[in-house]
Amino acid sequence: MVTFVDRVQVHLQAGRGGNGCVSIRREKFKPLAGPDGGNGGHGGDVVLLADPQATTLLDYHRRPHRSAENGGYGAGDNRDGTNGAELVLSVPVGTVVKDAAGETLVDLTEPGTRFVAAKGGIGGLGNAALASTKRKAPGFALLGTEGWSGSLTLELKTIADVALVGFPSAGKSSLIAAMSAARPKIADYPFTTLHPNLGVVQVADHRFTVADVPGLIEGASEGKGLGLDFLRHVERCSALLHVLDCATLEPGRDPLSDLEIIKRELSAYPVPEGQVPLLDRPQLVALNKIDVPEARELADFVRPELEALGYRVFEISTVAHEGLRELSFALAELVEEARKRELAEAAEQPRIVLQPKAVNDGGYRVVTEGGTYGTVYRILGAKPERWVAQTDFTNDEAVGYLADRLQKLGVEDALVKAGATAGSTVVIGPGSGVVFDWEPTVTSAAEVQMGARGTDLRVEQNERRTNKERRSEYHERMDAKAEARAELERERKAGLWEEDGS
């Protein structure tokens, strides 16, 4: 059986950033000629591309896990790692991308639109890039950060100009086959069509697309038959064509009551906000199967009544190819009008530009949490969390650099304000994050407060000696030497030592 997939969950993994490199350049007569460790490359993004060549999401159903390339590591001699190649995933035009919470991220309706679904990690700086006038030879480099990973839902909504709606076996698939090059499955049992088929119709210089969707029955809105779920494919059609079966032998069925039932079901379908309800869109009626004599009689009979309801009615036979040309022209006209209307509306409305949600990158906050082990001070924010991810905790210098960065951001003062003292437990990031006992750096206010008011311990502990002190130290040392010499002389005179040359 052919499976049609119009909704899949994909698991994406963007590339990891490469680590920076620690390296020292060596030159003749100058073995330590400065840092030359290169930067790591950035991780590749996973990009979704609205591709007119792609028609289904089946590929992602079979292989839902996709990942982009990692960034290369930095190397010595200032060689930077290569950036990871991005992974471009082609999806059909009309794919809606939703996040794990079901919120729509983007609607890929324009061919060629690219959407960065998973951002690659950042490459770490090498020690050459980390060198500064203050830090001439850094003995550490930054690590690359993880790329984004997570699940997204892809949902396909067919985009066509005209949707064919009607009971099962009314001849919708036969009609699309007769009007276009599409070759859907046609059979005399209900629900032959299980997924929408698209066909391109060309009449004179008009060109439009027609979507054939599965048949509707009474109670479809309550889930009977194939339900209404697939109607999301007609959500974007600008016009509807009711295909009515005039040759059905089923009891209780005739074109007028069929139309009533279909209209009732369509009105129960909730279109997304901002879209025209299905029944408010332009509609035509096709009375099908008039190659059957009784059907032609019935069609002639109901035609005036349908026209009285305000519909333009076409009597057709998909088998005999009767009435199809008039119908095609009428549809082309309808589509043309709808396109003009849309253009005019688009010109009136300000253009909507899709932009990624703004992230407050610079900010952070300190949250205090009480626990069985005492108060925990948690630092949350994109920047500090990224910095932690970039830190090689086996390298003391790297940890020191992290402390410097945090301090420059004002995290220490924020911790003091929040009530943290030396030895408090501080966590960076959500979850168990990175936990450490806080030791305020020397310049922080907390340390200064440990001395008596008005004094600064750093001043008190001045180790440098004055000239006077040095002089007296020198004299003391000289006195001690003279003392030692006198002592030796006394011992010699007392005859404790033998004279040389014996």
Ligand X SMILES: Nc1nc2c(ncn2[C@@H]2O[C@H](COP(=O)(O)OP(=O)(O)OP(=O)(O)O)[C@@H](O)[C@H]2O)c(=O)[nH]1
Work out whether strand 376-380 and strand 365-369 pair parallel, antiparallel, or are unpaired.
antiparallel
**357 marked among binding-site residues:** no
Q: Does residue 193 belong to the site contacting ligand X (CB under 6 A)?
A: yes
Give me the residue label for tokens 């019935």. 298
- Residue 213, annotated as binding a ligand: yes
Size of the site for ligand X (CB under 6 A): 25
* Cα distance between residue 245 and residue 285, in whole Å: 11
Residue 288 sits in the site that holds ligand X (CB under 6 A): yes
Question: Which of the listed partners (Mg ion, ligand X, none) does 395 bind, with a CB threshold of 5 to 8 Å by partner kind?
Answer: none
74, 126, 214, 255: residue in contact with ligand X (rule CB under 6 A): 214
Q: For residue 41, which of 110, 123, 107, 111 has the smallest C-alpha distance?
A: 123
User: What part of residues 242-261 is at the interface with ligand X (CB under 6 A)?
Assistant: 247
* Using rule CB under 6 A, residue 291 touches ligand X: yes
Interface characters, 299-338, with ligand X (x: CB under 6 A): ------------------xxx-------------------
Other beta carbons within 10 angstroms of residue 400's beta carbon come to 14
Angle at 85 between CA 79 and CA 91, to 5 degrees: 170
Instruction: Say if residue 161 carries a ligand binding annotation.
Output: no
Please identify, using beta-carbon distances, which residue of 88 and 198 lies nearer to Mg ion: 198
Give helix 396-409 / helix 382-389 axis angle, nearest 10°: 170
CB of 320 to ligand X, least distance (A): 7
Q: Between 350 and 379, how does the x/- string for binding to ligand X read (CB under 6 A)?
A: ------------------------------
Q: Binding of ligand X at residue 192 (CB under 6 A)?
A: yes
171 assigned ligand-binding residue: yes
Residue 153 in marked binding region: no
Copy the structure tokens of residue 69. 């390339």
**Residue positions counted in the chain:** 502
User: For residues 67 and 47, what is the distance between their CA atoms, to the nearest angstrom?
Assistant: 10
Which window, 182-190, 396-404, 414-422, 452-460, contacts ligand X (CB under 6 A)?
A: 182-190
SS3 362: coil
Quote the least distance from Cβ 210 to ligand X, whole Å. 12
Task: State the Cα torsion 224-225-229-233 to the nearest 10°.
Answer: -150
Q: Minimum distance between the CB of residue 175 and ligand X, rounded to whole angstroms?
A: 7
What is residue 425's three-state secondary structure? Answer: strand
* Residue 168, marked binder: yes
Q: Which of 95, 158, 169, 209 lies at the binding interface for ligand X (CB under 6 A)?
A: 169
**Taking the mean position of all CA atoms in its chain, how far away is CA 75?**
30
| 214 annotated as belonging to a binding site for a ligand | yes
Place of tokens 């003995």: 139
User: Which of 34, 64, 168, 227 lies at the binding interface for ligand X (CB under 6 A)?
Assistant: 168
Rounded to a whole number of angstroms, the minimum distance from the CB of residue 9 to ligand X is 28
Q: By CB under 5 A, name the binding residues for Mg ion.
A: 173, 192-193
Q: How far is the CB of 88 from Mg ion (least distance, A)?
A: 34
DSSP string, 467-498: HHHHHHHHHHHHHHHHHHHHHHHHHHHTT-SP
Place of tokens 């004094």: 455
Residue 90 DSSP class: E
Pick the binder of ligand X from 52, 191, 277, 325 (CB under 6 A): 191
Judge whether 199 and 241 are in contact, CB under 8 Å: no
Cross-sheet strand order for the sheet of 46-50: 87-91, 46-50, 114-118
Residue 118 assigned as binding residue: no
| N- to C-terminal Cα separation, the chain | 120
Q: Tell me if 170 is assigned to a ligand binding site.
A: yes
Q: Which of 327, 3, 1, 335 is nearest to 172 (CA)?
A: 327
Instruction: State the nearest-atom distance from the C-beta of 240 to ligand X, in Å.
Output: 14
Closer by beta carbon to Mg ion, 75 or else 220: 220
Judge whether 193 is annotated as a binding position: yes
Answer yes or no whether residue 173 interacts with ligand X by CB under 6 A: yes
Q: Choose between 165 and 259: whose C-beta lies nearer to Mg ion.
A: 165
Residue 37 and residue 78: Cα distance in Å, rounded? 5
83 labelled binding-site residue = no
95 touches 48 (CB < 8 A): yes
For the CB of residue 174, give the shortest distance to Mg ion in the complex, in Å.
8
Q: How far is the CB of 276 from ligand X (least distance, A)?
A: 24
Q: What distance in Å separates the CA atoms of residue 326 and residue 316, rounded to the nearest whole number? A: 9
Decide if residue 271 touches ligand X (CB under 6 A): no
Give the residue numbers of the binding site: 166-173, 191-195, 212-215, 288-291, 317-319
Give the residue numbers of the binding site for Mg(2+): 173, 193
Judged by the rule CB under 6 A, the positions of this chain that interact with ligand X are 166, 168-174, 186-188, 190-193, 214-215, 247, 288-289, 291-292, 317-319
